[in-house]
Amino acid sequence: MRTLPGLSLKSELVQDNAPARVVANVYIGSIHAAFNQDGLAQRGITHVLNASGLPATFPRAFTYFNVDIRDREDAAILGALGATAVFIDAGVEKGGVLVHCAGGRSRSAAIIAGYLMAKHAYTFDRALEALRVVRPVVAINKGFEQQLRAFEATRFDLFKSNQMMLRARVRTSVCDYVC
């Protein structure tokens, strides 16, 4: 492999194409893992939860669920957790599910963290640790983290955690004008 003078490749930035197992039949990965049809099949993956914003790669080979969420701190990840949990459960029951976004770092990790919290009573910190053990590049954005911590604080009640986040936003907005 040739290298260019003055450039080095940092191993933590290299995107892999192998789905990483988080818990039984639940895998996380980047878009590169979603392009690896053989790797998906070898792991018994039947379902792909796609949060990348790109079209399904192998729509005839796998069952897909596309989630339209931007990797931005103001994006509402809580609104997706109910539907994604149902899809992940279906994938687990049928063989396996890959949850991926573009880099396999924030959106997919936040979705799996929410799933682990709701289905396995993980705390946010425990879910994040479980994800980082198998995928060290995981870096859930601050907005998603705040929402998942609200989800934990309300004992995994989506309605109450959404209310909590809304109240926090209203307080911030009011304080911007009054404080």
What's the start-to-end Cα distance of the chain, in Å? Answer: 58
pLDDT of the residue at 22: 98
pLDDT digits (tens, 9 = 90+) for 117-156: 999 999 999 999 999 999 999 999 999 999 999 999 999 8
Q: What's the average model confidence in pLDDT over 166-173?
A: 69
pLDDT of the residue at 11: 45
pLDDT of the residue at 158: 85
Domain 18-178 has CATH 3.90.190.10: yes
Phi, psi dihedral angles at 109 (to 5 degrees) = -65, -40
Percent of the chain with pLDDT over 90: 77
**pTM of the entire structure?**
0.85
Q: Is 99 helix (H, G, I), strand (E, B) or coil?
A: strand
pLDDT digits (tens, 9 = 90+) for 74-88: 999 999 999 999 999
Confidence of residue 168 (pLDDT cuts 50, 70, 90): confident
Tokens of residue 2, six digits: 């040739």
Q: For tokens 């929402």, what's the residue?
A: 147
In the chain, the amino acid numbered 69 is: I
Q: For tokens 């929410």, what's the residue?
A: 114
Q: Please, which residues bridge with residue 36 across strands? A: none
Q: Which of 101, 118, 140, 148 is flagged as catalytic?
A: 101
Q: For tokens 């609104």, what's the residue?
A: 79
Q: Is 101 a catalytic residue?
A: yes
Spatial neighbors of 88 by CB under 8 A, at least 6 apart, are: 26, 47, 49, 97, 99, 111, 112, 115, 119
Query: By the 8 A CB rule, do 77 and 114 touch?
Result: yes
Question: Structural domain boundaries of the chain?
Answer: 18-178
pLDDT of the residue at 173: 56
pLDDT of the residue at 50: 98
Give the C-alpha distances (Å, rounded to integers) separating 140 from 19, 56, 167, 176. Answer: 18, 23, 22, 26
